[in-house]
Chains A and B, each alone.
Chain A
Amino acid sequence: GGMAALLLLLLLAAAGAGPGRADAERERRDALQEELLLSPLPTGDVAATFQFRTRWDADLQRGSVSHYRLFPKALGRLVAALGVRELHLALTQGFWRTRYWGQPPLQAPAGAELWVWFQPTVTDVDKAWKELSNILSGIFCASLNFIDSTNTVIPTASFKPLGLANGTDHHLLRYAVLPREVVCTENLTPWKKLLPCGSKAGLAVLLKAERLFHSSYHSQAVHIRPICRDASCLAVSWELRQTLTVVFDFFSSGQGKKDWSLFKMFSRTLTDSCPLASQSKVYVDISPKNKEKELLEVSPAPTSVHEAVVQGDKKTYAVYDLLSPSLFNTSRSLNVQLKWKRPQDSSEMPIPTLHAQRYVGGYGLQTGEICTLIYNTHPYRAFPVILLETVPWYLRLYVHTLTIITKGKENKPSYIHYQPAQDRRRPHLLEMLIQLPANSVTKITIQFERALLKWTEYPPDPNHGFYVGSSVLSALVPSVTAMKDMDVEQSPLFTSLFPSSDGSSYFVRLYTEPLLVNLPTPDFSMPYNVICLTCTVVAVCYGSFYNLLTRTFHVEEPSRGGLAKRLANVIRKFRGVPPL
């Protein structure tokens, strides 16, 4: 009480008044941008992509940084403590159908995918990887702790750093995918907690779980990477991007009608922007499909219209800027509505330049074949693609059966990196650089043999099958229209995740379907059967022999007969046979 007050006064008198704050208006060292992109897909579905980008002008590697504002403390401490240079984690449910929906802005494979570049100062990368996957599994409530050496690979060519990089020794990279992981509300809640405004203001109010998971494709991701602070690139800033892509189905969410609105998709509307965000925009893709006047009408009227070349095509976007005061003048909430002016013809569906498919061929439970088909639909340009396949050790690949056939002729890859599997320790890793000629289909097949596992290694439902993770295709696809280099800070977020090297091609990363493969399973009730059978045989056999050997026989007087004899006599009387 009084003593404490006395102590404190003396304490602070000694400390001095202190200079307090240096300047009246502290310049902000971090910034938040949020963005929502609505793109109607050719099949009548609609895709919504949220991106939240926090950029922090601090150097997390220095170790002394520990005062957080917009950047979440959990991730900041993780990056600083474990020496992480880049971290990309994606949790996805469903599959992006590239053939029908077009190139995705950001695709992720089904299940959980984690790839991390570590700093060169990290000495034991495997130990740091294991700690990192365990800590992330706690932060995101996902079973990432199942990532171990049996599903981690070190790609050599596929996953180059997306941020600033000083040198790329690929031993600092780790990649793992868990295809069996399921995404649900438990994973969405901690993801939303990392946003500065939470889900209380801004675009994140639309993220309600009961509508988001009622969809054909749901993918949420976290990307952390270092970027240049400004054009001269003398200092490093850290960027955290949280993205969420969801595709609402035409039949189940849209009730068979092609008109969409924010309320129909999310059962919420936007009321304001996040007060901490420096930029908060909604983009709607209103590009005409075949150069005629627009088919799609948006209401209310957008604040501006933005044109850009995205993924090789010229696209037009209607922009709603939530920070502009005129937007909420007429009504308190913003409900963007998309209406089709005239019905769409199915012949207008454009085909993406690069898409792929993968399936398992063969029959029986002993051998099989993995076939991958890669389509290049560009009319005259050929380009190379890097294919990365990770196959678990229990499907024993025979690399001598690897064949790559394009247009009927064999196609030799210019770079192959193959790392064979070690049983129960390491999976197969196959990376190839394949040149795809214009307007062609390339078929890659490789045969495998299924292994028989030990009986404790089968999962609880062994006849469901075993998952093989998606293969990854990375390519620089030539674009039809030239793209000009735009400043990263000014362009919309959905164009700036992948660095573009020049204006004539754009980088795309595609994932194929995951495979479900049956392995031969033993009969799990056999131990019980063996015990019963052996014990019965032994008991009967042994018991009979023992009795024969040791029983003593002696003559017995015939007794008058008990109940059994009388019952037998009754039956004999009926039969007409003389009694006993």
Chain B
Amino acid sequence: ADAALHPLQDTTLGSLTVYVVPETSSLLPQGINVYVGKHRSALVRAVGSLAALQARLREVTQVMSFTAASIAAALSDRVPDGRLSPDARRDLKSSLGYEITFSLLNPDPKSHTVDWDIEGAVNRYVKPVLDKLSLVANFSVDSQILYYAVLGVTPRYDKESSSFLLSAHSLPHVINPVEARLGSSAASLYPVLNFLLYVPERSHSPLYIQDKDGAPVSTNAFHSPRWGGIMVYNVEAPASPQASFPLHVDVDMARVMEVFLAQLRLLFGLSREEVPPEFLLEGPGNEGLADWELDHLLWAHTVENIATVSTTLTSLAQLLDKIGNIVIKDDVASEVYRAVASVQSAVTKLSLGHLHAAFQASKEAVTSSERAFFDPSLLHLLYFPDDQKFAIYIPLFLPMAVPILLSLAKIVRETRMRKKEPTKMD
């Protein structure tokens, strides 16, 4: 049904089409009242009164578009603590580009020779998703294999399952030691998303991650907001004890990419909301995310960009108020003007609903404001403070001023005495 409806719709970014079908229609399965498609359309069954229909329509728009809570989450860096739920501040900050790095960690190359067809997996699974997301930002993907990279935490041996367990509270300590080996990308300025695949050593196999309740996690992976994700890939012990080491391991890329792409969606904040039980969501298929989810992301990023620009320009203005010595060059001034104009046009376009144009304008605004704020010429006149001027002129003028001031005081005293006793003069 969704595919059939697709040519009928208006597919501009930010738009939403809802079709209302009668209660007895057989298009929707039993018990399902709302069907949300892969593109920007939904089917709603008209059950009950008009008010109930209105409520359901409002629910649909909240799921497929934005809510007050999601906008607040986008602005979460600017809202003071205590006014947000603890789940906020988890999505990736809006940026012009992202770098995705897949790393395979093999701490025990003597026991395991691990091979992964990362190039093929990236082309087959990751590229369609990134192509769809290319509207939001530029993505670049690379991968590496690191040997002798260990997790910083020693897993605990569990006798009942005869396996090693990493408990949930030790997971935050895993990332730091590994990060030193990952290498920062020196050649670019975009934030990096790291996806690590860890093949445990033979002495610590099999290794499972425990969640807070103590049950092993089914995908054996966890992710850290704004950083990336880690998955543990267990290798089966060899059948015969005389197997020759190193064992050759070929990684099942489909299983691994499943988990990494799900983590990527979580990092971008796409799978967050809970939908009511009578909703049926169509799966996004090969592309990894539905059109309305892309709109959702664009709304959030546009709002965040506009907030960033206003914060940056406000702090620049406050800085100039405090330190009057800074000279603003003409090109810095023109960048500021351009940023302000772009932000204003972004806000007007948002109110009109032109999402794509608003997003482009907000990106331009962010670029201009960052260029103005971080311009190196702003630092030049900061180091000529007033107390140095005092230190040079006081040793000269103070000794000269002292006799003058003393004689001025004497003159004032004499005139006052003369005025008081005019009769004493001869």
* A residues lining the B interface (CB < 8 Å): 3-4, 6-12, 14-15, 17-22, 24-26, 66-70, 72-74, 77-78, 81-82, 135, 138-139, 193, 196-198, 200-201, 275-276, 531-532, 534-536, 538-539, 542-543, 546-547, 550
Contact = CB atoms under 8 A, between A and B. Distances in A.
B10 interface: no
Nearest to B145: A69
Nearest to B129: A11
B403 interface: yes
17 contacts: A3-B281, A11-B284, A26-B117, A74-B185, A77-B186, A135-B187, A139-B186, A198-B147, A198-B148, A201-B109, A201-B110, A531-B395, A538-B400, A542-B403, A543-B399, A546-B403, A550-B407
Contacts of B261: 8, 11
Interface string B103-130: 0000001100001011110001100100
Given A20-B117, A20-B253, A66-B143, A4 B187 contact: no
A543 B403 contact: yes
A197 B400 contact: no
B399 A72 contact: no
B183 A72 contact: yes
A70 B281 CA distance: 44
B254 interface: yes
B331 interface: no
B119 A67 contact: yes
A160 to B, nearest CB: 27
Given A4-B262, A14-B285, A200 B400 contact: no
A14 B285 CA distance: 6
Contacts of A135: 186-187
A199 to B, nearest CB: 9
Contacts of A82: 187
B77 interface: no
Given A74-B183, A77-B187, A538-B399, 16 more contacts: A15-B254, A19-B120, A69-B144, A69-B145, A74-B185, A78-B186, A78-B187, A139-B186, A193-B181, A198-B147, A200-B148, A201-B110, A275-B110, A276-B147, A542-B403, A546-B404
B215 interface: no
Given A3-B275, A74-B186, A538-B399, A8 B258 contact: yes
Nearest to A194: B183
A73 B142 contact: yes
Interface in B236-257: 246, 248, 250, 253-254
Contacts of A138: 186
Contact of A7 (B119, B271, B407): B271
Contacts of A4: 262, 265-266, 271
A116 B145 CA distance: 27
A340 to B, nearest CB: 37
A135 B109 CA distance: 31
A18 B395 contact: no
B288 interface: yes
| Top 9 closest pairs, chain A to chain B, by CB | A539-B399, A10-B283, A66-B142, A535-B395, A81-B187, A68-B144, A200-B148, A275-B109, A14-B286
A174 to B, nearest CB: 18
A12 B403 contact: no
A96 B392 CA distance: 52
Contacts of B50: none
A435 B118 CA distance: 56
B399 A10 contact: no
A559 to B, nearest CB: 21
A67 B396 contact: no
Contacts of B288: 11
Contacts of B262: 4, 7-8
A534 B110 contact: no
A546 B399 CA distance: 12
B151 interface: no
B271 A11 contact: no
B174 interface: no
Contacts of A201: 109-110, 148
B148 A66 contact: no
A192 B275 CA distance: 51
Contact of A15 (B124, B275, B407): B124
Contact of B142 (A7, A12, A67, A546): A67
Contact of B115 (A26, A66, A550): A26
B2 to A, nearest CB: 13
B28 interface: no
B141 interface: yes
Contacts of A19: 120
A78 B141 CA distance: 15
B254 A17 contact: yes
Contacts of B246: 275
Contacts of B253: 18, 20
B361 to A, nearest CB: 30
A275 B101 CA distance: 25
A82 B188 CA distance: 11
Given A26-B115, A68-B142, A532-B395, A197 B148 contact: yes
Given A10-B283, A15-B286, A20-B117, A542 B400 contact: yes
Given A10-B284, A15-B286, A67 B118 contact: yes
B120 A18 contact: yes
B109 A11 contact: no
A3 B283 CA distance: 9
Given A10-B283, A66-B141, A538-B396, A3 B271 contact: yes
Contacts of B399: 535-536, 538-539, 542-543
Contacts of A25: 248
A72 B186 CA distance: 13
Interface string B276-296: 000001011110100000000
B271 A68 contact: no
B256 to A, nearest CB: 11
Contacts of A546: 403-404, 407
Contacts of A69: 144-145
Contacts of A139: 186
A26 B114 CA distance: 11
B223 to A, nearest CB: 12
Given A11-B286, A14-B286, A534 B186 contact: no
B284 A7 contact: yes
A47 to B, nearest CB: 28
Contacts of B400: 538-539, 542-543
A339 B224 CA distance: 57
A6 B262 CA distance: 11
B395 A67 contact: no
Contacts of A20: 117, 253
Nearest to A190: B183
Contacts of B118: 67
Contacts of A11: 258, 261, 283-286, 288
A200 to B, nearest CB: 4
B186 A73 contact: no
A72 B142 CA distance: 12
A67 B143 contact: yes
Which of B140, B141, B148, B266 has the most CB atoms of chain A within a 10 A radius of its CB?
A: B148
Contacts of B115: 21, 26
A18 B254 contact: yes
Nearest to B141: A66
Contacts of B283: 6-7, 9-11
B211 to A, nearest CB: 11
B165 to A, nearest CB: 21
A197 B147 contact: yes
Contacts of B392: 531
A393 to B, nearest CB: 25
A16 to B, nearest CB: 8
Interface in B390-411: 392, 395-396, 399-400, 402-404, 407
Nearest to B288: A11
A198 B120 CA distance: 28
Given A7-B284, A78-B187, A15 B125 contact: yes
A546 B254 CA distance: 96
